[in-house]
Amino acid sequence: MKPVKIAMMSLTHGHTRKYYQTLLENAKLDWVASCAEDQSAKETYELYQTGVPCYLSANEMFERHPDIEAVVLASANDKHLAQVQDCARRGVHVLSMKIPTFDMSEYDAMIAAVDKAGIVCQIELEMHYNPVVHRLKKLIAEGTVGKIVSVQATNITLSPVWAFPWQGVPEASYGRRVPLKAGDARCRGGALCDHPHIFDLVRHLTGADFDFVYSSVAPNLRPELQVEDMLLVNGKLKDGTAFLFDPSWSRMEERLKVPGPGWEVFPKRMEVNVTVVGEKGTLVCDCFGPNVYHNGAPNDRYTVQYTYFDEWIGMIDEFVGCIREGKEPLINLRWHRPTLAAMNACYDSVASGGPCVVS
Partner 1 sequence: MAQRARRGIEMDVEGMNTALRRLCDKYGVAVDGRLVADAELAAGVRLEMVGGAVSLLPWRVERRFAELKKLIDGKTLEEVSTLRFAVMRNGARLGHLLYREFDLCEWMAGASIRKTFAVVAGGKVANVIVTFANGMSASVECSAALPEGAAEIDRHEIIARRGVACDRVVDTQVPQASIYAFTADGTKTYTDTDAELFGFSDAEIWAVRAAFAVLKAPALVAEWKKAGCDVKEKVMQTLACAETCVPAVFSEEI
**Mapping DSSP to helix (H, G, I), strand (E, B) and coil, where does residue 50 land?**
coil
User: Is 147 near partner 1 (CB under 8 A)?
Assistant: no
42 with 64: CB under 8 angstroms? no
Strands 242-246 and 231-237: antiparallel
Burial label, 125 (beta-carbon count in 10 A; 0-12, 13-18, 19+): buried
Angstrom distance (rounded) from CA 140 to CA 148: 8
Rounded least distance, CB 303 to partner 1, Å: 9
Angstrom distance (rounded) from CA 347 to CA 99: 15
Name which of 295 and 352 has its Cβ closer to partner 1: 295
User: Is 260 near partner 1 (CB under 8 A)?
Assistant: no
Name which of 231 and 316 has its Cβ closer to partner 1: 316
Angstrom distance (rounded) from CA 260 to CA 275: 30
Residue 8 dihedral angles phi and psi, to the nearest 5°: -115, 145
Rounded least distance, CB 129 to partner 1, Å: 6
Rounded least distance, CB 274 to partner 1, Å: 9
**Mapping DSSP to helix (H, G, I), strand (E, B) and coil, where does residue 246 land?**
strand
User: Is 282 near partner 1 (CB under 8 A)?
Assistant: yes
Q: Which residue type, as a one-letter code, is found at position 53?
A: P
In sequence order, the 6+-apart residues with CB closer than 8 A to the CB of 71 are 6, 7, 8, 9, 83, 87, 92, 93, 94, 95
Name which of 179 and 262 has its Cβ closer to partner 1: 262
Angstrom distance (rounded) from CA 283 to CA 156: 19
6 with 68: CB under 8 angstroms? yes
User: Is 279 near partner 1 (CB under 8 A)?
Assistant: no
User: Is 310 near partner 1 (CB under 8 A)?
Assistant: yes
Hey, which residues between 4 and 33 contact partner 1 (CB under 8 A)? 25-28
291 with 270: CB under 8 angstroms? no
Hey, which residues between 73 and 92 contact partner 1 (CB under 8 A)? none
Stretch that binds partner 1, among 180-188, 210-218, 296-304, 339-347 (CB under 8 A): 296-304
Strands 292-294 and 270-278: unpaired
Name which of 182 and 292 has its Cβ closer to partner 1: 292
Position among 223, 290, 326, 354 found at the interface with partner 1 (CB under 8 A):
290
Rounded least distance, CB 138 to partner 1, Å: 9
Rounded least distance, CB 290 to partner 1, Å: 4
User: Is 132 near partner 1 (CB under 8 A)?
Assistant: yes
DSSP letter string, 171-185: HHHTSS--BSSTT--
Instruction: Please count the residues of this chain forming the interface with partner 1, following the rule CB under 8 A.
Output: 43
Rounded least distance, CB 209 to partner 1, Å: 25
User: Is 292 near partner 1 (CB under 8 A)?
Assistant: yes
In sequence order, the 6+-apart residues with CB closer than 8 A to the CB of 32 are 5, 6, 7, 52, 65, 67, 68
Rounded least distance, CB 100 to partner 1, Å: 25
Rounded least distance, CB 81 to partner 1, Å: 31
Question: Which positions touch partner 1 (CB under 8 A)?
Answer: 25-28, 129-132, 134-136, 139, 144-145, 261, 280-287, 289-297, 300, 302, 305-308, 310-311, 313-314, 317
